[in-house]
Amino acid sequence: MRQAPVLHHFPGRLVELVQLLDDFLGVRSLNFCGGPPLIALSVCPRLTGRACDGGSQAPDQPWALDEKVREHLDRSRSFVRPIRLAPHRSALHLLARPISPSHPPLIREMGSIHTIPHWLVNCGEGCQRSFLESASASSSGIGTLRVSSVNRVCLTHIGHDSVGGLPGMILTSADVLDHVAKEIEKASGAPEPEERRDKTAGRDNGRSGNQRKRNGSLVAGDDGSMPDLEIVGPTGTKTFLHSLRHFMRRDRFHVRTHEGKYASSLDKNATSQNTRRKAKRKKKGEDYDGGKKDEVNFDIESIPIEYDCESVSSHVAPRRTHAMSFVFSTAPIPGKFLVDKAKELNVPRGPMYAQLKSGKSVTFIDADTNTEKTVTTEQVVAASSPGIGVAVVYCPSLTVLNGLKLSETLSSFQGGASTDDKKPLVELEVMVHFTPKSIFDTPEYRAWCDSFGSGVDHLTLHSAESLETRVSLDVDSPFLSGISGGIRRSFVNEKLFPSPILKQYSDDSRKGDGSKLSIIEGRPLLDYVLMPKSRRGLNESSLKDIYSPALKDDLHKEAMDSGAVEQASTIMSSGTMSSGTDESSTNLGELIFTGTGSAVPCKHRNVTGKYLRMNNGNSMLLDVGEGTVGQLLRSWKSTLPGDVNAIHEYRSRLEGIKAVWISHPHADHHLGILRLLAERSAICNSPLILMAPRDLFDFLNEYHEPEIRRSFLAVDCFDMLHDGRCGNPMAGKLYDLLGITSCVSIPVAHCKRSFAVVIDGTSFGRLSYSGDCRPSNRFAGVGNGTDLLIHEATFENGMEEDAVLKRHSTVGEAIRISSKMNAKALVLTHFSQRYPKIPLLEDEDHHEKRIPVVVAFDFMRLTPDSLQLASQLVPALRLLYPPSKSNSDDQDEAGKATAKQLMSVPGAFAVRGVL
């Protein structure tokens, strides 16, 4: 666990800023030239700053960031410099598995103290939550993994399982950098944003700013500048990124994209950037010290294999596309500089050490003999060792395997490729297989793996080939905090809060299948060390199961000790209300919350999503945030009777989703739609009714998968306004499929094209949903007499000014709208991530409106009969989360200071009001 930074004599407001930089951007150590160290922790390369010469003096050059918050300051008489605190480290980290609710991002950490760059392979749904979870659940001792430390992404293909989390990650990274820049500008007295825009009008730090601002696209020309994010992917990557302009734009966030064949060693921009970094370090006087290692960079080479990708829908013809594999490699690793040997030869300390380390001979006057002496590199530097190679293989079919066999890059690692006795320049250490198990187990594929030799480890990340595979396998979630919270709440009432299913792994991740291959089964948070060489291989400490056998017992003890279980039992035995557990009811209606948090990622709450099931068993979704389908799958399996076939039930439930309503174009409310449409179109040909702002349809129409475009019937929310002139154009279908007699939209104040909805004929009667908005009297009027109001409550009471600024509602404002609407029940949701577990509800709000007021949680399952009980159990639930822990526990080692400052902005997506 990292200790909080110790600050001394730091000018006023900058204390908070440095804490923010530490927790979110990864600043571990700052040393001010001419003054004492102020913080003992490492430095993030994105920072550019100035500081005072002494720790206690006011700065003569206040902190300032350039427009891109990018480079180290190198022209000031006093500057921030990195201190080497640890040897170079590089490792592979698995954040999730392919069959889990979060698709499998793999991160390759290049643990240089100077640059701290990370390569991320694929960025599926839930990627940001996986980063947050890894920060606290990882036991490998490698420190915190942060989204902001990722500056390169490799995509094996374009699909919901590889890019579903990419837009959200881009938004978060861009907004964090922008937020930090504004805070530091504010602290330093720099011009306000408006002034700054006036002074820099017409330019964007030399990055084709005018062009990018006109079309809002993230795709910009390569002008040689250092990008915020670099993406290597198959053909279609640029098209996908360009399509994101319909619902997100970050004009100052620069993304460089490479499609198809790419080799970083041949990229002149990448080479020039590395040269600039080295020149800056040389300028800062960083010399070589005997026991410390040089920075080692990984080059990347992509291997695109063209093949015919079969569509999941039988009525869509196969399309020609690329499967991308990658090879990461270093140059041969220089040997260790032998300080004792250099001293023995009387080599003067200083620049000559650096020259010898770089391979040059040095000549000097020997202090003992007073004669000229020449020392060569071979005398003071140990022999170099081969570079490190890592292959990431994406092989969805045997056709792709045939293409991989022809790759010269991969063939160079196979046994017998070299006919001489020289050491290879690069040795392959590990192969990571993004491959269906049915392909991996074929004799042809195993023989190919075997050809790389017995010294190569094979890390398997088997993707689910079908819905049947995904459902039949135990679903392991990387979100330990969210699952643990669900288990705790299940002890209060298992009908309202079904307990998620846990999967335990064996202690040994290596699979002995009788073959000669060294196979390692992928699991969440697995850590494979590449450097240093002495620790190379599987990190045994990362094999500890995040879901320990004693987890459920420990959580039950916590729930019992808190008094929540006892109070819940007292409430349910009072006899003054319905238990909400009438199994004899023929009403199939239910409301499942797949996400109850606002846009900023959080371990405990997923982003917005609600599953509304009707009396006839069919259903509709109200908003589909990232990870919605995975949350639904886990929820459905946890409530499945033992005599029901899980695969049949999942197919039936997925096909039964007949309509989707999306309230506004912010990404946290609709990024889960890609997976929903893809998986649903795989099992049925009937399109669902998609009611959404037109921005979403523009995005989907540009999305490259044809089955997606055929999987829905589009209804613009603007065409179903409650204005007395026309109704919903799909009214007939909604009635036939779901029994809905009316479904109308109401414009609300949040961002451009934001809507609330009022639905008549649901299993709950009249249901009204606010989406994200300020309190709306018009919404209250249209929904008058509603049986169930679902209203956002982003902010706590007393934060009305913030709610106005961010165009959200407070808890009290939501309750007052329920009063104006004459609602019979109210469910509060979309909580700011500053309340990761349970928001504060003031007693006077309960007294103001004597109706059931329910606080929503992920995986909560409501029925028409259980609303009263859910409301009465709120005090018991509060005992699970004492006030002293409500803000601090989630803001763990990875971001306490960040949460206090950044999370108070409820949604990086809504910072500017209108995207």
User: Across 330-477, where does the E strand assignment appear?
Assistant: 362-365, 372-375, 387-394, 426-434, 457-460
742 sits in which H/E element? strand 742-747
For residue 420, give the DSSP letter. S
Vertex 387, ends 385 and 392: CA angle to 5°?
Answer: 150
Residue 84: pLDDT above 80? no
Contact status, residue 288 vs residue 357, Cβ threshold 8 Å: yes
Contact status, residue 238 vs residue 257, Cβ threshold 8 Å: yes
Distance CA 180, CA 578 (A): 50
Between the CA of residue 882 and those of 168, 551, 558, 896, what are the distances in Å? 31, 20, 12, 17
Contact status, residue 430 vs residue 457, Cβ threshold 8 Å: yes
Residue 634: pLDDT above 50? yes
pLDDT digits (tens, 9 = 90+) for 382-394: 988 888 899 999 9
What average pLDDT does the segment 208-228 reach?
A: 58
The neighbour count for residue 14, using CB atoms within 10 Å, is 21
162 sits in which H/E element? helix 160-163
Beta bridge partners of 591: 612, 862
What average pLDDT does the segment 874-894 reach?
A: 62
The neighbour count for residue 319, using CB atoms within 10 Å, is 13
Rg over CA atoms, the chain: 29
Confidence category of residue 788, pLDDT binned at 50, 70, 90? very high
pLDDT digits (tens, 9 = 90+) for 397-436: 999 999 999 999 999 998 744 445 566 788 999 999 999 8
Residue 303: pLDDT above 70? yes
For residue 171, give the DSSP letter. H
Q: Is the model more confident about 567 or about 103?
A: 567
Distance CA 402, CA 343 (A): 56
Between the CA of residue 876 and those of 488, 494, 495, 812, 827, what are the distances in Å? 12, 14, 15, 21, 17
Determine the pLDDT at residue 531. Answer: 80
Between the CA of residue 711 and those of 167, 320, 610, 736, what are the distances in Å? 22, 20, 20, 19
Q: What is the dihedral angle through the alpha carbons of 392, 395, 398, 401, rounded to the nearest 10 degrees?
A: -30
Determine the pLDDT at residue 191. Answer: 54
Distance CA 904, CA 422 (A): 59
Residue 577: pLDDT above 60? no
Q: What is the dihedral angle through the alpha carbons of 343, 346, 349, 352, rounded to the nearest 10 degrees?
A: -110
pLDDT digits (tens, 9 = 90+) for 472-521: 654 567 788 888 899 999 999 999 999 887 655 555 555 555 567 889 88
Confidence category of residue 532, pLDDT binned at 50, 70, 90? confident
* Residue count of the chain: 915
Q: What percent of the chain has pLDDT over 90?
A: 37
The neighbour count for residue 443, using CB atoms within 10 Å, is 7
Distance CA 468, CA 709 (A): 24
Distance CA 334, CA 377 (A): 11
Say which CATH class 591-881 falls into.
alpha beta
Tell the burial category of 727 from Cβ atoms under 10 Å away from its Cβ (0-12, 13-18, 19+). middle
Burial 557-568 (b: 16+ CB within 10 A, else e): eebeebebbebb
Residue 44: pLDDT above 60? no
What average pLDDT does the segment 35-40 reach?
A: 29
What single string gives the DSSP state of each residue in 487-553?
HHHHTT-TTTSPPPP--PPPS--EE--SSSSEEEE--TT-EEEEESGGG-EE-GGGGS-SS-TTHHH
Contact status, residue 901 vs residue 891, Cβ threshold 8 Å: no
Determine the pLDDT at residue 472. Answer: 60
Residue 615: pLDDT above 70? yes
Distance CA 161, CA 143 (A): 27
Of 286-295, 507-516, 597-606, give the range with the top mean pLDDT. Answer: 597-606
At how many degrees (to 10) do helices 551-562 and 564-572 cross?
70
Distance CA 54, CA 556 (A): 53
Contact status, residue 895 vs residue 875, Cβ threshold 8 Å: no
Determine the pLDDT at residue 352. Answer: 92
Residue 910: pLDDT above 50? no
What single string gives the DSSP state of each residue in 634-691?
HHHHHT--TTS-HHHHHHHHHHTEEEEE--SS-GGGTTTHHHHHHHHHTT--PPEEEE
Mean predicted lDDT score pLDDT of the chain = 75
820 sits in which H/E element? helix 811-820
For the chain, the structural domain boundaries read: 339-379, 591-881
Contact status, residue 716 vs residue 697, Cβ threshold 8 Å: yes
Which residue bears the tokens 């820099």? 200
Q: Is the model more confident about 208 or about 339?
A: 339
Beta bridge partners of 230: 152, 256
759 sits in which H/E element? strand 755-762
- Sequence-distant (6+) residues with CB within 8 A of 377 are 356, 357, 359, 360, 361
| Alpha-carbon torsion (288, 291, 295, 297), positive or negative | positive
Residue 691: pLDDT above 90? yes
What average pLDDT does the segment 86-113 reach?
A: 56
Residue 17: pLDDT above 80? no
Report helix, strand or coil for 631.
helix
pLDDT digits (tens, 9 = 90+) for 147-174: 767 888 999 999 888 898 899 888 888 8
Between the CA of residue 14 and those of 20, 136, 679, 807, 904, what are the distances in Å? 10, 26, 49, 29, 18
836 prior amide bond cis, ω within 30:
no
- Sequence-distant (6+) residues with CB within 8 A of 67 are 181, 200, 204, 205, 252
- Sequence-distant (6+) residues with CB within 8 A of 422 are none
Among the residue ranges 81-90, 163-172, 559-568, the one predicted with the least confidence is: 81-90
- Sequence-distant (6+) residues with CB within 8 A of 282 are none
Please give the structure tokens belonging to residue 448.
């190919």
What average pLDDT does the segment 103-109 reach?
A: 57
Residue 564: pLDDT above 90? yes
Distance CA 50, CA 80 (A): 7
pLDDT digits (tens, 9 = 90+) for 305-317: 999 877 655 556 6
The neighbour count for residue 612, using CB atoms within 10 Å, is 26
Distance CA 828, CA 823 (A): 13
- Sequence-distant (6+) residues with CB within 8 A of 330 are 296, 297, 298, 299, 387, 388, 426
pLDDT digits (tens, 9 = 90+) for 649-664: 888 999 999 999 999 9
At how many degrees (to 10) do helices 646-655 and 628-638 cross?
130
Distance CA 365, CA 374 (A): 9
Q: What percent of the chain has pLDDT over 70?
A: 67
Q: Is the model more confident about 910 or about 107?
A: 107
Determine the pLDDT at residue 912. Answer: 32
Contact status, residue 903 vs residue 654, Cβ threshold 8 Å: no
Residue 112: pLDDT above 60? no
Which residue bears the tokens 């109401």? 746
Among the residue ranges 262-266, 591-595, 639-643, 662-666, the one predicted with the least confidence is: 639-643
Closest CA relative to residue 498, chosen from 360, 395, 609, 592:
592
